[in-house]
Amino acid sequence: MTEFSAETLAGQRLMVGFDGTVFNADLEFLIGTLRVGGLILFSRNMQTPEQIGQLCRDCQAYARKFDLPPLFIAIDQEGGQVARLKPPFTQFPGNPAMVSQRDAVDFACVTARELKRVGINMDMAPVLDIAPEGVESIMAGRAFGSDPRWVADMGMTVIENMQRCGIMAVAKHFPGIGRTVLDSHMALPDLDVDLQTLTDFDLIPFKAAIAGNVAGIMLSHIRYTGIDTTWPASLSPAVTAGLLRRQLSYEGVVMTDDLDMGAIKPAFAIEAAIDQILKSDADIALICHKGPDIEAACRRIRQSLADDVTLRQMGEQSAKRILRLKRDYL
């Protein structure tokens, strides 16, 4: 911990998006000045395998220039509806189309091999949400199905094989958004369900992922009123510190979903969101679009860790989790 400055350790708490397909001044600022710990790629950043590989190499080289830890370079590559990489990368039909463990193994191994080849080291997958029968679930087109055990088995197959091939898997969206019918990209959904119901159904795949040492878990932007009537899961101490950390004993890296989504903006200012993330014992704030929120978030993290002894202690533990994961994979 002593080998990195307080500014660097604060920057490790951010994973951000950017514009452009080549290394540019924006990336110089994000990496060299803000010292962000991770980048996330979208279609706007990618043209060809060769271009993606060069972009990732240039970003990692710039981090090394400043003696920073290696960057998480992440992507949403679930297959089906959510697949940022287009041909010549292998295209898969998505989780609902998987009918066997062999399908999950093929997806995980091929995807991991193709990601690794171009320098991407983290996949925001698998989706562990369960789409219950009889519900017009927002996740019906992305979930493995309606049976918690099947979702758990398929999810674990993806996690085990992807991580065996050297790519960090991120299980999402904790504690499960399969029951929701409102899209959190647009607004903040409320889900009136108690903890016991979640435990008996929605949490089953996440418990399996935790037992299987999944590299990361992504929090949802859903407000579970049976747990926290004020904050969505991504900003809730009751969900992250209480349920995920204490009750389920997860010691890995926890990140929010994109703080640019409609469930968070404009209802919560970026400073208020960061305050809640730090209090909740989540590790990484995900901000997927270029804009002033990234710098404001970095400034708020640095200020909070400097001013508050408790948050600083929690921040040290968070930095240990992030750096341990980077040592294990990068």
Supply the pTM of this predicted model: 0.96
4 within a domain of the structure (yes/no)? no
- DSSP string covering 257-285: EETTSTTTTTTS-HHHHHHHHHHHT--EE
Q: Which is catalytic among the residues 123, 257, 275, 283? A: 257
Region 3-24: mean pLDDT is 94
Q: Tell me: the pLDDT tens digits for 189-225?
A: 899 999 999 999 999 999 999 999 999 999 999 999 9
178 within a domain of the structure (yes/no)? yes
Residue 185 annotated as catalytic: yes
Q: Tell me: the pLDDT tens digits for 221-237?
A: 999 999 999 999 999 99
Provide the pLDDT for residue 60: 98
- CATH code, 30: 3.20.20.300
Count of domains forming the chain: 1
Average pLDDT, the chain: 95
Lowest-confidence region among 47-56, 151-160, 237-246, 264-273: 264-273
Q: Tell me: the pLDDT tens digits for 100-145?
A: 999 999 999 999 999 999 999 999 999 999 999 998 999 999 999 9
164 within a domain of the structure (yes/no)? yes
Region 92-97: mean pLDDT is 97
32 within a domain of the structure (yes/no)? yes
147 within a domain of the structure (yes/no)? yes
Nearest of 269, 266, 102, 248 to residue 176 by alpha carbon? 248
3-class secondary-structure state, position 74: strand
Q: Which is catalytic among the residues 19, 67, 185, 200? A: 185
Over 70: is that where the pLDDT of 2 sits? no
Q: Tell me: the pLDDT tens digits for 298-319?
A: 999 999 999 999 999 999 999 9
190 within a domain of the structure (yes/no)? yes
Cβ 174 vs Cβ 129: under 8 Å? no
Distance, in Å, from the CA atom of 112 to the CA atom of 123, rounded to the nearest integer, reads 8
More confident residue, 183 or 321: 321
Give the residue numbers spanning the domain of 50. 11-329
274 within a domain of the structure (yes/no)? yes
263 within a domain of the structure (yes/no)? yes
